[in-house]
Chain A
Amino acid sequence: MTEPLLVVRGLSKHFASGNETVSVVEALSFTLGQGQSLALTGRSGSGKSTLLNLLCGLELPDAGTIALRDQVFDADGATARRKAAGWSALRRRHIGVVFQEANLMPALTLLDNVRLRAQLAGRDPANSEDWLTRLDIGELARRYPDQVSGGQRQRAALAMVFAMEPALILADEPTGSLDRHTADEVTRVLFDLQARHGCGLILATHDAELAAGCQQHLDLGHQSDV
C-alpha cells in the first residue's frame, strides 16, 4: 500500500430522532492511501453523506479519530471552535468537495467560480481558464451556470476542485443527476485527473459501475474495516 493519506479509526456518529438515538456511522475504521480511490456504497440513509461530512469536518464525530496528512482530529480533543478552524483550513487548501448539484455560485461565470475556488485555496487564479479548457469547457468560461448543461456544470465543478490542487476529493453522487452518457464522460474525467494528479478520492454512489472503477470499496450497509 502507498503512503497513507487518510486514516480513520473507530469513527462514530449518532443523531437524535425523537426520544431515540440513531447510529449512522458506528465504529468505522479504514485507511486511504495517497492517490487511491474508495467507493462508498449503501442504500439511501445508510450514512454515505454523513460520512463525507465527517471526513471534511462539516460535522464532528461523537467518537473516533480522523488523520489527514499530518493533521489528526480526535473526537475528544480540542474545542469545537478550534476543530472547526482546523477543518476550515484543510477544506480550503486540501479537500475538494463535489456534490450532485449546486456546486457553483449562480451569480458568477464558470471562470469566476473556478477563480474564486482557486483564490480560497491560495492557488494562482490565473490558471483557472486552463482548467476549464482541460475539461473541454474552455469556450463556456464566461457563461453562467444556468446557461450551460448539467454535465457542463459538473465539469466546471471538477475544474474548480482540480484548480485548488487538493490532496483529497470527496464526491457525493457527482453523476446522480446526469444521463448515462454525460455521467460516463464526467466519471472518466474525474478518474483520469485524479490518477494524473495523485490525489485521493472518496466517492459516494449508488452506481455499481462507478464504484467498480475505484480501487477500494466500502459498503456502509455492512460497515467494517477496509
Chain B
Amino acid sequence: MNGSLSRLLPPYPSLFMPKALLSHYRRHPLQLLALAVMILLATMLWTGVSHLTSQARVSLAQSESAVAERQQVVRDDGQALAVEDFVSLRLAGVCVMPWLEVTPEESGNRLVGIDPLAAHCFGADASQAVDQPLDGKPFVDVHFAAGTRARESRLYLLVSDTTKAAELPPDYDLTTFSASPDTGELGASFLLNLEALGVLVLLITALLLRSVYLLGLAQRRDSFALLQRFGVSPMQVQGWLVLEILVLALVCVVPGVWLGRWLAAALGSGFGQALDGLFDIPLYAGQGQGWLTPVLVMLAVVVIACLGDLLLRRFRGRLSLPLPVRAGLAAVLLAVGLVMGWLAPSLLWVFIAVALVFAGAGWLTPAAVVQLAHWRANHSKAPLALWRYRELAVLVRRLTLPLVALQFALAMVLAVQALVTTFESTFDRWLAQRLEAAYYIEVPAGANSPQATEWLTSQQARVTGLQWHRVIRGSAQLAAAGDAREQSVDVFALTPVSSLIRGWTLLEAADRPWEALAAGEGIMINEQLARREKVAVGDRLQLILGDQPRALSVLGVYPDYGRPVGEVLLNGETLPDTFNIRFESLSVTPGEPGIAPITDALEKVWGVQTVALRDNDTVRALATGVFDQTFALTRAMTLLTLTLAASALLMMGWVFFSTRAWYFRLLVVWGLPQREAAAQLLRLALLLTGGIAALALPLGIWLTWVLVHRINPLAFGWSLPMAVYPAFWLELALLSLVIGLSIAALMRRQLGKPAIAPLSANALTGGER
C-alpha cells in the first residue's frame, strides 16, 4: 500500500493536493466551465444593475441639490436676460447663478453651462453638489457653454428660495424655474424597484451557483474519502476547497465586474437620456460604485453560496431538521411574511416580509411538491403512474436549488414585467397629463395675459381644432379642520376649463366633475393631498386663497404620479383679485393653421420679440423613445436572469436525469417500447417545470402587489395601479414547458443508446428514492 501510495505522490508533495482536487475538473471540464460562466454572469448582472442604480441615484441626488431651488430672476419687460442683467444684479448684491442652456450646432444634445463659483448662492449643500467634476454632459462650465457655437441658447439666472422680490433692483421680478416638467418621485420609484431587482438577481444567481457547485461536490465525495484514507485531514481538504473556489471566483469576478460596468454604461446612455431629457436628472459620468466593493461582495457571495454549510458543518447537525418540521417552519415563515407584507408600517418591514416570503416559499415549494407527488403516487392505481410520481419526488428533492432558483426567477420576471408595463402605461398617462396640449407657452413676467386670452377666445370660433387654456400658478394655504397649522399647496387655476384636460384619468370623481369645475362649483385635488389630508370627493377643503378663506367642495382626485406637493386645480374665474400669481402659462393645441399665427399674435399682444415656446410633441417623442429603451433594457436584464436560471435547470436536469437514465432503460428492458419510455420521461420533465411555473405564478403576483401597493406608497406616498398580464403568464408557462421539452429531448438521446446493464451498483449514482 505504502509503495503504491508513494508512486501516486508526485515529486513535489505540496502539489499533490491541488492536482488531486483539480483532477475532477480535468475529467469534467464542462462543469468547471459552467461554474465559471455562472460566476461571471452572476457578477455581471448584479454589478450591472447595482452600478446603474447607484449611478442614477447619485445623479438624482446631485441634480436635486443643484437645482432644487427653482427660483429665477426675470425682466419685467419680458425680454430675454443677457450678461448685462447678470452684472447689474450682482452689482445690486443679489447672489445669482447663471444657468446657460445651449443647443450646439453640431449636435442636438443640450448643454447646461453653470458657474461652480456661484454655487454658494444655494448654501453649503449646493456647493458640495457642484463640487463634482463637471465632466459629465449635460453639465459643463459656463465658460465652455458660452464658447460653444450654438443653434439656440438661453440664459437663466437662478436665485435661492430665500431671495425676496423686494431685494431685486427695479425692472426685475422672481418666478419659478423649471427646465422641464417635474416628475416628483417617478424616477426615484423606478430606481428603488431596480435596486430590489438587483438583490433578487444576486439571490437567484447565488442559488444557481450553489446548485452547480454542490453537484460537483457530490461527485467528488469519493475522492475526498480516498484522500482521507491517504491521511489528508478534512480540514485540509476544506482549506484547499476554499482556496480553489476563491481563485476561481477571483478569476471570474474581475472580468464579471468589468462586464457589469460595461453593461451599465450601455444601459446608462439610454437611462441617462431618459432622466436628463425628461426628468431634469442628468446622469453624471464617472459616478457609481468603485471596483473593490463589488469584487469583495461577489467573492463573499461565491464562497458563502458554495461552501457556506461546509464551513459551518459543526452547526449543520443542529440546523438539519426533519422534513415535516422544515415544512412547518417554512409555512410559518410564509404566513408571517404574508401578514407582515399586508400590515407592515414601514419599508424596512416590507423588505423583511419579502425576505420571509421568499425564504418560506423557497423552503416550502420543494417540500410541498414532494408531498403532492407522494400523495398522487399513493392514489394512483396504475403502478406506472405511481412510479412516475415517485420519480418526480426524487427529482424535486435532487433539483431543489435550481428549481427554487427558477421559481424565483420566474416570479421576478412576472413582477418586473408587470411593474415595467404598469410604469409604461403610468408614464403614458403622466405624459398625457403633463403635456396635454401640443404647445406650452410661458407668459412673460409683466405681460398682459387677459389680453392674450381675449385674443385666443376671439379665435376659438374661427379656427378649427383650436383648444387652449390659461394656467395661473400660485400658492394657497391649507387650513386643516381643527388644526392650527397651515400648509402650502400649489394652485393651478385654469381659464377656461378646456377639453384639453377633460381626458385625465380621475382616481375618484363626483358626477360630471369637469362640468362642475367649469361652473366653479368646487376643486380637484391630487392624490398626495387626498391621502395626506384624508380628503375624499364630496368633502370640503378649507383653503386660504390670497387673503380669502374658502371652503371648497372636492369634485375629483387626480393621480399625480408621485409629485410630493399638494395640488389644487380650480377654475381661474373663481380666484380672488388678491391672489398672488407666481407664474402664468398657456397650453395650446393650435389646430389646422399651426402655432405660427398664434405666436406671432402673442408677440404683438405682449410686445416681445419671441415667446418662450415648448413643443410638447417633441418632448413626448423624446421621452417616450428613451423610456421605451430603458424599459426594454430592464426587461432584457430580467429575461437574461431567467435564461440563466433556465439554463442552470436544463444543465442540472440533464446531469441528474443521466444518473436516472438506467431506470428508464430498465422500463425498456421490461418491454415498454422506447417511445413510451420517452413519453414517460417527457411527462416527468413537463410535470417538473410546469409545476414550478405554476408555483411561481402566485409568488410573482404577490411580488407585483408588494412592489406597486406596498413599497411604492410607503416610499413615495402614491401607488401604481395593480395590473396583471395573463398573456405574459402564458409566455412564461410556455418557456417552462420548453425547458422541460429540452431536458426530455436531451435525455431521449441517452435512451437511444444500447441498454447495457450497469456492472455494479457503484456504476449508478442515482439510486436515490
Contacts and interface: CB of A to CB of B under 8 A. Distances in A.
Do A and B interact? Answer: yes
A196 to B, nearest CB: 23
Nearest to B676: A88
Interface in B655-695: 662-663, 666-674
A115 B674 CA distance: 20
Contacts of B384: 116, 119-120
A105 B668 contact: no
A117 interface: yes
A88 B767 contact: no
B394 A93 contact: no
A214 interface: no
A102 B87 CA distance: 95
A58 B754 contact: yes
A112 B386 CA distance: 8
B769 A106 contact: yes
Contacts of A112: 383, 386-387
Interface string B380-406: 001110110011011000000000000
A101 B760 contact: yes
A106 B669 contact: no
B292 interface: no
Given A58-B754, A102-B764, A107-B391, A121 B386 contact: no
Contacts of A118: 383
B663 A106 contact: yes
Contacts of B596: none
**Most B CB within 10 A of own CB, among A88, A97, A103, A144:** A88
Nearest to A91: B671
Size bin of chain A's contact surface? 35 or more
A214 B393 CA distance: 43
Contacts of B767: 102, 106, 145-146
A53 interface: yes
Nearest to A92: B671
B393 A97 contact: no
A49 B669 CA distance: 13
Contact of B672 (A56, A90, A92, A146): A92
Nearest to B761: A101
Interface string B727-769: 0000000000000000000000000001111111100100111
A89 B383 contact: no
A155 to B, nearest CB: 16
B668 to A, nearest CB: 7
A84 B678 CA distance: 15
A49 B671 contact: no
Contacts of A129: none
A127 B434 CA distance: 79
B761 A49 contact: no
A88 B755 CA distance: 13
B387 A116 contact: yes
A145 B769 contact: yes
Contact of B387 (A49, A53, A92, A107): A107
B673 A125 contact: no
B671 A108 contact: no
A73 interface: no
20 contacts: A49-B756, A58-B754, A88-B668, A88-B672, A89-B671, A91-B669, A92-B670, A92-B672, A95-B671, A97-B670, A101-B760, A102-B761, A103-B666, A105-B387, A105-B390, A106-B767, A116-B386, A117-B670, A145-B769, A172-B757
Given A102-B662, A102-B666, 18 more contacts: A49-B757, A58-B668, A88-B673, A88-B674, A89-B671, A95-B671, A99-B757, A100-B760, A101-B757, A101-B760, A102-B767, A108-B769, A112-B387, A115-B383, A119-B384, A120-B671, A145-B767, A146-B769
